[in-house]
Structure 1
Amino acid sequence: MKFNLKTNWKLKSRLMAIMLLSSFGVLQAQKIQTVSGKVTGDGGPLPGVSVIIKDSKGKSAVTDFDGNYQIQAKDTDVLSFSYIGFMTQNAKVNGRTSINVNLKESLNELDNVVVVGYGTQRKKEVTGAVSRVKEEDVAKSATSDLGSALQGLIAGVNVTSSSGDPGAEANVQIRGLSSVLGSNRPLYVVDGIPYDANPNISMNEIETIDVLKDAASAAIYGTRGSAGVILITTKQPKVGIMKVKLDSYYGVQSNYRHMPVPTVEEKLYMEFINKNNQSGTVFGNSWTTIEANPTQLTNNSNFYNVIENDLAPIQSHNLSISGGKDGLSYTINGGYFGQQGSLINSNYERYNVRANTQFNKGNWKITTGLSARNEYTQYSPWGLILDAVKYNPYGNQVTADQTQIDNSNGDANETTRLSYIGAKLQTNDKSFRDYFDGNISAEYSFNKNLKYTVRGAVSYDNSSRFTINPSFIAYDNQGVLIPTQQSKIRNLSSRATKQTLEHILNYNKKFGNHNLGLTAVYSSEQYTYGEFYAEKFDIVDNDITVLNGANGLANAGSGNNQWTQNRMTKFIGTLGRAQYNYKGKYLLSVSARRDGSSKFNQQHFQWFPSASIGWNASDEEWWKPIKGIVSNFKARASRGSTGNSGVADYSYSAGIDLNNDYVLGTGADQNYIQGGIQTAFANKNVKWETSVSTNLGFDFGFLNNKLTLTSDFYVTQKKDMLFPVLLPPTAGGGSGSDVVLNVGDMKNTGIELAMNYRTGKKFKHDLGVNFTKNSNTVTKMSGTNKLLYFDGSTISGQDNDQDKVSALAEGYVAGAFFLMKTDGVVQSSEELIEYQKLDPTAKLGDLRYVDSDGDGKITNDDRRFAGSGTPDFEIGLNYSANFKNFDFSMQWYGSFGAEIINGGKALGYKSSNNKDLIYQWTAQNPTSQVPADRGALHNNYRGWSDYWLEDGTFVRLRNVSLGYTVPNNVVNKLSLTKLRFFVSAQNPLRITKYKGYDPEVGNNGLSTRGIDKGTVPQSSKVTAGLQLEF
């Protein structure tokens, strides 16, 4: 027994010793230690590399500017090093306190994560048509407008300048026209928060842009996804030491050529032959106004020299600060952008700041985003370019600082026109806008598979616009004071607010080779808008610019139309989405969203489903023999529906205009009685416009993905589109009134190709080319009227049916030109006799119209389709190269096949002020193809003619840049981590046959697409700048 006790004691002692030693070993294994090191790539340090501990929460670090990092880790931990453009590398700690890593560059972008709305996906697993643009691509453009920066970068995204004015927003369309009367703008989503308009954020705030082009991808945004979705991720917080970065540039702008204007001698010659053609007047038997004022012969005025602001400055400065530790990180961006316009009295300034923070604690992740922006815009008076087109070269020159007109040595009939121009140059039209956006998101992870996110956001947009048309004095050639444009002060204030609340539930689970992702979303929004204006006439003193500075008639009002009235709009939506893949080879995604909108009277809700599939064929075993050549191949197919709620509020209601006075009674008993006229007719059944889109796509990778090619083919059917239907005058709305009904259908078909090639180590090249072709057809219009001209499509001032050129017509592209075909000029007596059978009033030198319908007369029915302002196809080319410390890049954009109606040329002809008229038909010049000037209202110069039609094809070098990065051994002596200098030019080269100011004439609506009537052109810019970091 004693022996047993001793034996037991010895066994127990030994067992306890073993347990203690084992515990000590475990404790040693679990000891947390500091691990540090350096991350390099391509022989140099890599700043900003993400260092995380795998399978841990919130434990991460970021390398500093020298590539150094430091992190707390256990002996059994695995560190993961990742950086955009490089292959992710893992390293086990294994007791080491120093781990250096050299990352290898990756040409394979398939593992990159893209934003797809309410979540992310590996690019390899995406089944829809999604394209990505990086920060450096848009940052190359010296512009305040995001849309302009996107031009030529993405296949399927059409960007057309609306104006060259500073601060102007470009028109952005994804895969063609989505609506005729509603909005064609894509939905912008910034950090998960939807915006119905361009968010106007600084390029320096952007980290990535993902564009959802097909309906299957955009259907998750339901009612507002029909025009595509642009997902913007701003620069997010990153853990690491504080990093400061400055981006700054300054430059000047210059104008392209303007339309040539005649000299005094040429103008006098044109006036003589004009009179000869109009009344048979011959030399020596005519009287011109200049004979009474011969001193005007020395004027040689050119109004372009007055209105053009050559070498206007443009500048941008941005400062960003980022950093943080485990648990709390931040990124702050602050910037200024300033640009003077290429025309006088135009200016734009923007101050912006954005702060993003992220807090991690246990299973919680809290992110916040705050942004504020202040904008100041000064608008140049409308129509200055058209004034320059008409300006008489021997007329007295009006200057920009002139406050009165003394036309003592000029034409008395011209004094009023000069006073109008002088007053216009003194007009002060400016606006101030204050924006504030705030959002907060709380994410709770129940486990590694399931997480719940609640997100709230609020935005405010306050705007004030002050317009002053000053008092202006003018004397005629007799010294008599004449009436001028009435002076006026007008103030306009508006306020818009928006609240957004979203609940998001995400579940992701891997079951062996099966991967499943489920998403459920509830979203609600409320938007309110209100505006008010007040104006007063007859300014007492131009230096007093408040409303009480005028003592004349006063007006005030709000809600003048459906777009400016006070309103509140509410949206609610629910979404369900399932994503599945097997081994990453066989892909499936389905979703359904149900949206409701207060914009509709009865049919508030509608479902928008979608489905897409994909197959990564290159992952199959039988693909391996050719994998070295064709390294990647994926086939995709999708079909989905989206809606368009971008219509005016209360469009289902009737509208009454009370600003109509009626005269009742006769003689002394006449009285003015306030009355009204119906301007909008009720349609209680107005409903969603719906798009159903089918997409087929193929993704290729060659030579280990050095060369990639993406192709997409799509058909989009637009149904229940809102079209205007003409009503008879007896309906009460007068001539030309209409009612808006869901009676139209439209189809878009297209092809998109995108190719990218990257190669080189010491001398790196990156070449990207994209091709877009979109065809649009109106397939259905209601009633017997299959051709409806847009009221805003007049080209040269006369607002009548013969000057309207753009139309909505069944079987044609929306916004098509329908013009009178011409067949040269009547040049001989034989031709005149034959043509007078169609137009008995015709004379020699007249423009000869074609009797297209064969009824023996020239009428409005002879118009025929003559193209449109929509290009047949577009091409973008982007190239960049790096050699040692030098970098070079350029961006090209080409638009092919669009037509332009040269309204400036038409107006110059009508005003007898275009140099072409020197060579017009006369008896002495009988073979001329320039029709004789017989007055502005003669058929020779009507706007309906294809005589003004020109080829709008152009190729533009959008940007070219050369930079130099100072070597690290020099930069470190300056206590900096990076210093780069660069010079760049925007729009330095343009190739086009168009004879107007600028072939990029999109304007702001379908009715004016392709019509150039005084659009402010794009200017060319030269800038120099620097980037530094510390």
Structure 2
Amino acid sequence: MVCILAAICDFTTASATTIVSAGSKELVLADQKVSGTVLSADDSSPVPGVTVLVKGSTLGTTTDVDGKFEIIVPSANSVLVFSSVGYISQEKTVGNASTVNVSLLSDQKALDEVVVVGYGTQKKRDLTGAVSQINTSKLENENPNSVQDILRGNIAGLNVGMTPSAKGGGSLLVRGRNSINASTSPLLVLDGAIYYGELSDINPNDIETIDVLKDASSAAVFGSKAASGVILITTKKGVEGKARVNINSNVGIGTISKKQPVLGAEEFIDWRGEVMKNINSSYQPFQFENPAGLPSNISLDQWLAYDGSTGDPTTVWLQRLGMQPIEIENYKAGRSVDWNSKVFQTGKRQDHTVSLSGKKDAVSYFMSLGYLSNEGIITGDKFSTVRGRVNLEGQVAKFFSVGINTQFADRDESQVPVDYGLARILSPWGSEFEADGSYKWRPNSEASGGNHPYYARQFIDRRQKITTFNTTLYGLVTLPFGFSYRINYTPRFEFFERFNHESAKHAEWAATGGSASRQNRKEFRWQVDNILKWNKTFGKHNFDLTLLANSEKYQRWDNTMTNKGFLPTDALGYHGISTGINPTVSAYDEYSTGDALMARLFYSWKDKYMVTLSTRRDGYSAFGQANPRATFASVALGWVFTDEAFWKSSWMNYGKLRATWGSNGNRDIGLYSAISDLQTGKYLHVRPDGTVYLANQLYVNRMQNANLRWERTASYNLGIDFGLFDNKLEGSLEVYRSSTTDLLVQRALPDILGFSSVWDNLGEVQNRGIEATLNSVNMNRENFSWRSTFTFQLNRNKIARLYGDLDENGREKDDVANRRFIGHSLDEIWDYKILGVWQVEERDQAAKYGVKPGDFKLEDVDGDGKFTNADKQFQGWTNPRFRWTLRNDFKLFKTLDVGISIYSYWGHKASFNQRKNRDGFLDRTSSYRFPYWTEENRSNEWARLYSSEGGASGFGVYQDRSFIRLDNISLGYSLPKSVVEKIKVSNLKFFFSAKNLGYYAPKWDWWDAEPDQDNNNVPSPRILSLGIDLTL
């Protein structure tokens, strides 16, 4: 909050030194008093809070609530400057006048900032719903590689998942999880048309703005697709003037931000000794210790006699530790391997885009071509794509224009990354190479153990490419009386191919003669939007009506061929797939259709009172025959209360209250979940004569539900938008509550029906939360400015109803098997509570539960001496209880930009079973470097090696995962205007960006404190990049 306080302090300082409140005076050389009134030129109403300055001096004042001011000026030649947010500044020479009255014109640019809403745009002032916008020009120094990079940490209520992959990106979640089984991903809209492709196909350099619709009222115009919010992406268009060529190029590296250390070679030996002590309860003194360090009271012969061993003592010792012959040989030779360095890499990155844009006469154009190539932090992980865009619009006639927005992408996802978990499995005393220098298949042992991380990769040949075309063709007709008609036709093509060959040269695959596969998939979908709009103003009444008729169709064809046993050789790989002896062919096709009708009416009076009404009726082929359609409606109200005559505040210059209600649907389930499907198979048939043969069969595989209907989310939203201290501090506050009913779940069926389950509509999930956004101008000087943005969000959900089944007490049953409990959150942890670790003094008590000192001590709630569901307790949540972000932007000497952003997830827990010290086969593998309990080095947080769970098998260990991350530091230097003019370019900027520099997590010490989009513990990349942006 330092930045927010700075904004207020800066205002106060300015008020104390340069602004004198109405009626007060400064000491001046002359004594000419001037007074007057400032009115709005629109309606002649007084304008309070207008700054009145004597030009070229620090003398000034502000108008009071009636628009009046009084000031002392030095001379008759003094010039007064009148300025206020939302109005065009005006200058007046005093002369000999004692009264100066001024009428200020509205600054439409400030008042009419446009945001994108469904099927159109609106002035920001007219918004009645919860909508947030980000302009990509604010992030141009950060070199975002993906759309998710633009969104991450910049919009309250929108959470972006982290991913360590070279491809980047991450999942998106708006205002928390509102469904159990259906998708919770927001709807994507690209240039006004619903977008079904991947965000990785969109070049961030092509994006102008991104708007996020968060409440049901804003998103209701998208009906059945918008229960999880809507993200609207608007790409760049040509602007008036000569052609502009822009070149944006950057290179960088990605390194692992935090490497989880594995045991070193010597640590591994000590660790193995402790492992053996824990899995052999009757071991002898120093049995697993190095014989070179035996105490004087134990002879070497005695030590060898523990298990009747003979021969080399070092070999005996290492064999007792469970080490294999390869490990023993390498130990004696002093050869060790750091497997951690083999599974991670420093990835090279490059991103280049060239674009051409402009507008001449009746044609505007924007064209771009980009190439992105990234290597991930995991060895072998890489991603590349070529992305192109053409946006054209032409004015065919005064009333008619046509346009096309086309996007092309060709992604290469042929990577074969290593399994970085092998760094923990492989022994540091294993062998990396065979005698001939080739990779050793099994470094630990000739017979078993983990595989070399590079071994399989050398025998895999893979080609996986995805090519997409996404186009919107549109025509716009301007009609009389404020009407307009627009038609959009949006076809989308996707071509997927995955060719894979696993060579018979691999020691394990040799028996099959190698294998190969060729998969080809083609998707085609189209949608047509017919949009009729009416926008008309009658005096102080403004109407904006939108009518929509939409239809869509989706088709997919998927064919796969596989083969094995290539003779005489599989050297041709997937190119010679026909030469195998075990071919299989499979096909999978999909088909769906949908349609919709929508109406939305916006009305405002005096730009002060606003109402938005909408309704949409959707149809979709995936639902049951009884419920193929559903209707979704919304209402929203807005009131600019600071425009009221009674509002007299001098510190709050803008305020608007908003209240909305709306309903949306979720249709994102399987295309055929409502109907039965047929499957083919084979079975053994016995004839009456006893002959057995393999027969073909056709059977019903799934039970239909003709009554299956849409999930429905109804939500309420209360919001306030405000501007304080001449908009030095502005922002918004949102409070929301939603309820999702008719959840799509699989209901269990009695065995007698022949089906285990059927899709049905059951249950209810509720969501509620708070969001806040604050933007502050902390300092604004000629050669220095400082702006900050702070966002805060918290979200809570709970299961209100489940399947309707009642227990013996007449209460609705919980779904214990899936850990879903009525009245509790979807992410609430329910498990045995850990009280600590059993210590040596508690040996007898621990034995009652089948454990011993060094094992975790669990709470026996009912005291019956065993662990059952009755002992499990609710003990926290896996989703953050609240999140916040803070971004600071500085500008120095008009040429240097500095940006610093941090964000935080707080109050949640995650599974941290590593504290059990029982992962994997501890007597055969290595380990990450973790503490462990011993009698000599006791702990109440970490269990002994190979600890026992007793009668509470499978219990989880949970750790607080709260963190604060330094997300990004960016620097941008623009050459001064005088320099760029000399070199005959429009603009030249150099920039540097450092992403994911570090984080503070007081209680988390595992992989990155932030999980990936699937909630897995993974390493994260730290990315450093340098770039140049040149405009000709």
Report TM bin, short chain. 0.7 to 0.9
**CA distance in structure 1 between the aligned counterparts of 2:1021 and 2:717, rounded to whole angstroms:** 38
How far apart are 1:822 and its partner, in Å? 2.0
**Is the 8 Å Cα contact of residues 257 and 996 (structure 2) preserved in structure 1?**
no
Cα drift, residue 810 of structure 1: 2.3
Unmatched segments (≥5 aa) in structure 2: 1-84, 91-103, 288-302, 308-319, 807-811
**SS of residue paired to 2:271:** helix
- 1: CA distance between counterparts of 2:172 and 2:736? 19
Deviation at 1:688, TM superposition (A): 0.1
Q: SS of the residue aligned with 1:405?
A: coil
* Per-residue deviation, 1:827: 1.9
1:295 aligns with 2:316: no
Alpha-carbon distance change, 277 to 410 in structure 1, aligned in 2, over 3 angstroms:
closer
User: Which residue in 2 is equivalent to 1:607?
Assistant: 631
For the residue of structure 2 that corresponds to 1:467, the secondary structure is strand
Q: Residue 432 of structure 1 is aligned with which of 465, 469, 475?
A: 465
Structure 1's 907 and 391: CA in aligned 2 closer, same or farther, altered over 3 A?
A: farther
Matching of residue 743 in structure 1 with residue 749 in structure 2:
no
- Per the alignment, residue 691 of structure 1 pairs with 713
Query: Residue 859 of structure 1 aligns with which residue?
Result: 868
C-alpha distance after superposition, 1:672-723 (max 9, x if no partner): 6667897643322211000000000011101221210200000001010112
Q: State the Cα deviation string for residues 563-596 of structure 1 (Å, max 9, x = none).
A: xxx2111111111111111101111110111111
Query: What amino acid does structure 1 have at the position aligned with 2:768?
Result: T
Distance 1:757 1:594, change over 3 A: same
Distance 1:771 1:987 in 2: 20
Matches within 5 A, 1:403-802: 405=440, 411-414=445-448, 417-418=450-451, 422-423=455-456, 426-447=459-480, 449-474=482-507, 487-538=514-565, 540-541=569-570, 544-548=573-577, 551-559=580-588, 566-602=589-625, 603-623=627-647, 625-626=648-649, 628-655=650-677, 658=680, 680-729=702-751, 731-732=753-754, 737-758=756-777, 759-762=779-782, 763-782=784-803, 783=805, 786-788=813-815
Judged with a 3 Å threshold, the aligned counterparts in structure 2 of structure 1 residues 573 and 952 are, in CA distance, closer, same or farther, namely same
2:912 maps to which of 902, 917, 920: 902
Pick closer, same or farther for the CA change 1:154–1:556 going to 2, 3 Å. same
**Contact 1:714/1:751 (<8 A) preserved:** yes
The reply to whether residue 1025 of structure 1 matches residue 1008 of structure 2 is: no
User: Which deviations, in whole Å up to 9, do the C-alpha atoms of 1:10-41 show, x marking residues without a partner?
Assistant: xxxxxxxxxxxxxxxxxxxxxxxxxxxxxxxx
Instruction: Mark the CA change 1:709 to 1:484 in structure 2 (over 3 Å): closer, same or farther.
Output: farther
Instruction: State whether residues 570 and 597 of structure 1, in contact with CA within 8 Å, keep that contact through their aligned partners in structure 2.
Output: yes
Cα shift at 1:173: 0.8
**Counterparts of residues 116-127 of structure 1 (less than 5 Å):** 116-127=117-128
The secondary structure found in structure 2 opposite 1:265 is helix
Distance 1:88 1:537 in 2: 76
Q: For residues 538 and 138 of structure 1, what CA distance do their matches in structure 2 show?
A: 54
Per-residue CA shift, 1:712-750, capped at 9, x if unaligned?
0000010101123334555545xxx43321102001101
AA in 2 matched with 1:772 = Q
Residues 313 and 339 of structure 1 are in contact (CA less than 8 Å); yes or no, is this contact kept in structure 2? yes
Q: Judging changes above 3 Å, is the alpha-carbon distance between structure 1 residues 892 and 910 closer, same or farther for their aligned structure 2 residues?
A: same
Tell me, in whole angstroms, the C-alpha distance in 2 between the residues paired with 1:107 and 1:450: 23
CA contact (8 A) 1:299 1:397 kept: no
Secondary structure in 1 matching 2:1006: coil
**CA–CA distance in structure 2, aligned partners of residues 104 and 550 of structure 1:** 80
Alpha carbons of structure 1 residues 443 and 741: separation in structure 2 relative to 1, 3 Å: same
TM-score, structure 2 length as denominator? 0.80
Distance 1:194 1:533 in 2: 30
Against the structure 1 CA distance between its residues 239 and 552, is the aligned structure 2 distance closer, same or farther, given a 3 Å change threshold?
A: same
Is contact 1:662-1:675 (8 Å) kept? no
What residue identity is the alignment partner of 2:669?
V
2:164–2:1012 CA contact under 8 A, matched in 1: no
Distance in 2, matches of 1:507 and 1:406, equals 71
Tell me the distance in 1 between the aligned counterparts of 2:520 and 2:475.
36
- Asked if the contact 1:270–1:918 (Cα under 8 Å) also holds between the matched residues in 2, the reply is no
Instruction: Tell whether the 8 Å contact from 1:452 to 1:505 is kept in structure 2 after alignment.
Output: yes
What residue number does 2:271 align with?
A: 270
Contact kept in structure 1, 2:141 and 2:971, CA below 8 Å: no
Cα separation, partners in 2 of 1:1018 and 1:277, compared to 1, 3 Å: closer
Match of residue 994 from structure 1: 1004
Report the alpha carbon displacement of residue 430 of structure 1 after superposing the two structures with TM. 4.1
Q: In 2, Cα distance between the equivalents of 1:660 and 1:943? A: 39
Match of 2:945 among 933, 937, 953: 933
Deviations 1:318-374 (A, max 9, x none): 111112322112111111111011112221111111111111221112222122111
Which residue of 2 is the match for residue 3 of structure 1? none
In structure 1, distance between residues paired with 2:892 and 2:183? 46
TM superposition score normalised by structure 1: 0.80
User: Which whole-Å CA distance do the structure 2 matches of 1:825 and 1:681 have between them?
Assistant: 50
Tell me what 2:114 maps to.
113
Partner of residue 390, structure 2: 355
Contact kept, 8 Å, 2:933 with 2:939, in 1: the verdict is: yes
Q: 1:876 to 1:129 in 2, by over 3 A?
A: same
Which amino acid in 1 is paired with 2:575?
Answer: V
Query: Deviation of residue 317 (structure 1)?
Result: 0.9
CA shift for structure 1 position 457: 1.4
- 3-state SS, counterpart of residue 295 of structure 1: helix
CA shift digits 1:427-473 (9 cap, x unpaired): 34442111112222111111361111112111101111223333344
The amino acid that maps onto 1:997 is W
Q: Is 1:886 the equivalent of 2:896?
A: yes
- In 1, distance between residues paired with 2:511 and 2:456? 8
Question: Partners of 1:320 and 1:836 in 2: how far apart?
Answer: 73
The residue type equivalent to 1:508 in the other structure is: N
Answering whether residue 191 of structure 2 is matched by residue 191 of structure 1, we say yes
Q: Using the TM superposition, give the Cα deviation of residue 908 of structure 1 relative to its aligned residue in structure 2, in angstroms.
A: 6.5
For 2:936 and 2:512, locate their aligned partners in 1 and report how far apart those are by CA, in whole Å: 43
2: CA distance, partners of 1:374 / 1:730: 51
1:372 to 402, 408, 414: 408
Amino acid at match of 1:183: S
Name the residue aligned to 2:131. 130
Cα deviation 1:521-548 (Å, max 9, x = unaligned): 1111111122121222245345634252
The answer to which of 121-130 and 491-500 deviates more is 491-500
> 1:158 aligns to what?
159
Which one-letter code corresponds to 2:744 in the other structure? L
Structure 2 contact 262–928 (Cα < 8 Å) conserved: no
The offset of 1:858, in angstroms, is 1.6
Whether the aligned pair in 2 keeps the contact of 1:919 and 1:928 (CA below 8 Å) is no
CA drift at 1:501: 0.8
Root mean square deviation, CA, Å: 3.3
Q: Give 3-state SS (helix, strand or coil) of 2:919's partner.
A: helix
In the other structure, the counterpart of 1:21 is none
Deviation at 1:291? Answer: 7.2
One-letter identity of the residue aligned with 2:344:
E
Alpha-carbon distance change, 473 to 429 in structure 1, aligned in 2, over 3 angstroms: closer
Partner SS state of residue 764, structure 2: strand
Q: In the TM superposition, what whole-angstrom CA distance separates every residue of 1:71-90 from its partner, at most 9, and x where no partner exists?
A: xxxxxxxxxxxxxx997899
Q: Following the alignment from structure 1 to structure 2, what is the Cα–Cα distance between the partners of residues 112 and 918?
A: 55
Which range moved further: 270-279 or 584-593?
270-279
Aligned residue pairs: how many? Answer: 882
2:843 counterpart (809, 813, 832): 832
Distance in 2 of aligned mates of 1:908 and 1:136? 50
